[in-house]
Structures are given as C-alpha cells and as structure tokens.
Structure 1
C-alpha cells in the first residue's frame, strides 16, 4: 500500500509545482505587458503576440538609445575617430597620450567651431589653434577644454567677421589641419 500512495503523492506534488510555475509565468507576462506602451484598442492579444511586441519594443528602444548616443557624441565633438593604421579607435592611448591629435572643424555661416582631441603631450595645440584663429581675423567667442584621463577635449567657438566667411573658413581650416598634421608628423 505504501508503494501506491508514494506515486500518487509525487504526482500531486508535480501538479502543484507545475501549477505554481504557470501562475508565476502569468504574473511575469502580465508585468512585462504592463511595461509596454499600449494602443488604445481593447483587443486582447495572445501571449506569443505580447512577447513579440515586447521584443520589438526593446529592439526599438536599443536603436533609439544608440541613435541618441551618436547624436550626443556629434554635438559634443567627441566622436570616435578611427586611426589610419590599425582601425583602432582614436581613444586608444600610447605612452599616456593619443597616438595622434584629431581635429574637427565645423562651419555654420559666420560661425566656426573647432574641436581638437589630444593627449597630454599636445597641450600646446590649443593655444596654437587660438592664436591661428586670431591671426586670421576670427573673434573667439568661447574656448574651453576638458580632461578625461589622458585625453584632452578642446573646444573653440569663433566668429568670422568677413563678407565672404566661407573663403576665410576654408583658409582657416586648411591652416589648422596643416598645424595638426605637422604635430602628428613630428610627435610634438
């Protein structure tokens, strides 16, 4: 008689365990569904459809997050710049400095924004860039820098006072790029 009761008790335990598992899954599905934005329709969707909706929503959020990170990087001038040699990112450090300074120049009408990313050994480039802008007749509106570990992010906002700002901006861009390239070539 003991042998017959043991299987019956075991079967009941398995049923209870399975019932508890299903109830827990329902609670989790319900919680997941409550986190999703819902349309105003009152159509009841099946569980697989709810899971598909959650997966698609999460993918959409990931895509939006990546797009916003890129936008933020573009606006702050901290875009990842690929090195010419090995495809490594420009943030890779060598001996406490960037392997090569990077410059980005943006012209917007009479405004000229310069973003310069250097290592600690290239601090002189900030002052040299400002001097060059002034020599070319640009008015410095704002100049700042931030240090993150062994990298310096320089930002210079200037205004070109000329009847042909595009020509002046092109000349300034050429001089600044040459300045950075010469610093890269000499290592200082």
Structure 2
C-alpha cells in the first residue's frame, strides 16, 4: 500500500512540476520575459515543489510529522544562521518571483524610480534574479529587486522627448498676392 502511495506521489510530483514549468514558460513568453529569467523562476518553484512532495512522501513512509519537522527546522536553522548576513539575497530572490508575476514593466520600457535622494530613470535592459539593469545613456544602473518593489516606479513614454520641428509654409494666397 505504501509503495502504491509513494508511486502516486512521485507521478503527481512529476506531472505538477511539468505543468508548472510549462505554465511559467508560457507566462514568460506572453510577458516577453527573457528565457534566462524564466529558467531561474522554474528552478525556484521546482525546488519548492520537491520539498513539498518529499515531506508528503516521508509522511506516507510512516515517518512522523514531528520527526520531519524537527529535521526540517534543523536544516532551516543552519541555513538561517549561514544566510543571516545574506538576508538581502533571499529578499531579492523573493522579490524576483513577485516581479516575474506582477511587475507591470518589461524589458525595453522606460521607467523612472522615485527616490528622495536620486530619481533614477532609464530603459529597463534586463530583469535578473537579484536585480534590474537600467540603462541611462552610457551608464548601466544595477538596482536591487527588493528596492524596486519598495519605491514608486513611473513608466515613461517610449517616444523620444525631443521637440518635433514644425515646418511653416507660405499659403498660396500670400504668394499669389505678392506677385
């Protein structure tokens, strides 16, 4: 019976991961997200699903929930201590997931990040796992994902801001009356 349940969990895990990967790729293509970024989102979500199904498998094997939680809490405690100094990295990864699914600006959009010290404006060149690359003239600005979610971001027009020259022509009646 346990072998049958483990087989069902394994099949469910494989099917869920495949479905999720296809859904993320489809969403990424519809939002014009780079394949590089879509790949990292898929890896992150796949890891979460593997942990979920592993816990489910341990439960089916008869390993008590308290034993699994003690084991997982021990691992998370070690990881927490090891990564405490790198907390901003974890927040940037989480922000990366939020940006992938809900950020209204895409690569190629001109944006302006409102900040009390410096207004950063330019063209979004890349949205990576930890940061957004913004091109301002010759400069390439690296802006952390966690900060871009905390600031107001304004989408600027993609049209050039230079004034359009207006050509003034003489009306035919003026030139006729001058002759």
Structure with the higher helix share, 1 or 2: 2
Under a length normalisation based on structure 1, what TM-score does the superposition of the two structures give?
Answer: 0.24
Which structure has the higher relative contact order (CA within 8 Å, separation 6+)? 2
Bigger proportion of residues as strand: 1
Q: Which protein has the larger Cα radius of gyration, Structure 1 or Structure 2?
A: 1
